[in-house]
Amino acid sequence: MTESASQALSILRDPSQFEWYVVPLLVLVIYVYNVEVGKRNWNLVFGGLALWGMDWFNEIWNALVFHFTQYAPVWGAPADTAFLLLIGLNIEICMMFFILGIVAAHTLPEDKGAKIMGLPNRLVYAVGYSIVAVVIEMFLNAAGALTWDYSWWTIKVPWLIFLIGYMPFFLVCFWVHDMETVKKKAITVGLILGFDAVCLILFGAILKWI
């Protein structure tokens, strides 16, 4: 087991890590969603939830990688945190992803068919946001906040972080955002979050793997 994985494991779901700044962060998340629900901006609400659900999916398989290898997760979060939910997911990251989808979807052109340099604007925005996210993650890794222990998941192989770590988040977020009916959005997000919940119950609560 790597040193960083051991460090993360030592604080995994340790309530003594709690810090009061989590409370205003939670209030901020609630406020953001309350504003959009109040305006009946269902495109943003369900787009945001879709991105959040995609992150949970990534974090679950990342935790399973550590369980089966007993070496390291693909990415870890062993640094200071108010609560480490999974080995690569702390409460601060979780809340950030909760509102990131709304932030990203807010900037989308109203015309989903418009082209940017001949390319679909949703694809261009997904690529742009993913690149920014990868760059930010590189800085977090350099600061020791996020750790990478595999040779194929490093600053030298950023395309893999781009393709697996972020691109699907924004593509699904924008896809749900653009669905024609609220019912379709709700069903899709329900399936994403429902699958996450089943995995967390099975691999976490029952099998104790993550």
CA distance 10 to 179: 43
Q: What is the pTM of this model?
A: 0.95
Q: State mean pLDDT over 154-165.
A: 94
Q: Could you list the residue range(s) of the whole structural domain that residue 95 is in?
A: 3-206
CA distance 32 to 36: 7
First to last CA, the chain: 15
Percent pLDDT > 70 in the chain is 100
pLDDT given at position 62: 98
Q: Are 188 and 182 in contact (CB under 8 A)?
A: no
Q: State mean pLDDT over 172-195.
A: 98
189: CB partners within 8 A, 6+ apart: 46, 49, 50, 53, 176
Report the number of distinct structural domains present in the chain.
1
Q: Are 52 and 65 in contact (CB under 8 A)?
A: no
The 10s digit of each residue's pLDDT in 101-152 is 999 999 999 999 999 999 999 999 999 999 999 999 999 999 999 999 999 9
Phi, psi of 80 (to 5 degrees): -55, 135
Query: Which of 61, 94, 92 lies closest to 75 in space, CA to CA?
Result: 61
pLDDT given at position 204: 97
CA distance 39 to 97: 21
The 10s digit of each residue's pLDDT in 79-93 is 899 999 999 999 999
pLDDT band at 29 (very low <50, low <70, confident <90, very high): very high
CB atoms within 10 A of CB 99: 19
